[in-house]
């Protein structure tokens, strides 16, 4: 097949998987919902880059180490990640109950705070490791072995779609701030409960597979 057609094929594959990753419900999306409600889109928008920041460490680890790592590695990762998600859930719950959403505009947090939290969540979340070891990793390696342009187009398409869609979702979530203080608080509490559910689920998977 012509290299240009192959490049387009890998690009579209990356875009499709990036869109899937962006719309799939998970801890990252729920965390961004809570942060958008609490801090607004301007302070949360940098967190859209969190998958790129965390995967700088995740992807090379998967390609070089994870395929040879013991199963216990993912088990420990699930337990640690579940505990961190529960911590974030508690923080989101306290913020909603204390009505910090209403006063956040007066004392905005550092712009990079949400980005660092989201990136750390990704590092402690086994889902990116599983995704890249089972789905994205083999596709990237297959393309890279044929031509670096194929592997590069896949990665560019994936992260371009993932980050763009995540940014759009952050802005959409943040518009809920304009719908009233009561609704904003309730949405904040719902997002905190959803985060707690994800955290407990990760802990349960880790304990069961220990």
- Give dist(CA 13, CA 20) in Å, integer: 11
The segments of the chain whose pLDDT lies below 50 read 100-106
Q: Would you state the pLDDT for residue 11?
A: 92
Q: Would you state the pLDDT for residue 184?
A: 61
Q: What is the model's pTM? A: 0.70
Q: Would you state the pLDDT for residue 179?
A: 62
Q: Would you state the pLDDT for residue 153?
A: 94
Q: Would you state the pLDDT for residue 180?
A: 56
């Amino acid at each position: 097949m012509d290299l240009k057609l192959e490049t387009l094929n890998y690009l579209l594959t990356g875009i499709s998987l990036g869109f899937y990753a962006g719309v799939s419900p998970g801890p990252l999306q729920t965390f961004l919902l809570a942060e958008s409600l609490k801090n607004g889109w301007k302070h949360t928008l940098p967190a859209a880059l969190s998958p790129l920041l965390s995967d700088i460490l995740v992807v090379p680890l998967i390609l070089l180490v994870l395929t040879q790592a013991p199963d216990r590695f993912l088990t420990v990762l699930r337990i640690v990640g579940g505990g961190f998600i529960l911590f974030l859930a508690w923080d989101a719950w306290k913020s909603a109950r204390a009505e910090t959403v209403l006063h956040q505009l007066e004392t905005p947090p550092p712009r990079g705070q949400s980005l660092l939290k989201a990136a750390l969540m990704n590092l402690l979340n086994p889902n990116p490791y599983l995704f890249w070891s089972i789905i994205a990793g083999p596709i990237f390696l297959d393309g890279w072995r044929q031509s670096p342009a194929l592997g590069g187009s896949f990665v560019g398409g994936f992260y371009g779609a993932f980050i763009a869609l995540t940014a759009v979702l952050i802005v959409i979530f943040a518009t809920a701030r304009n719908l009233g203080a009561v609704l904003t608080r309730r949405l904040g509490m719902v997002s905190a409960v959803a985060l707690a559910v994800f955290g407990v689920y990760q802990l349960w998977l880790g304990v069961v597979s220990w």
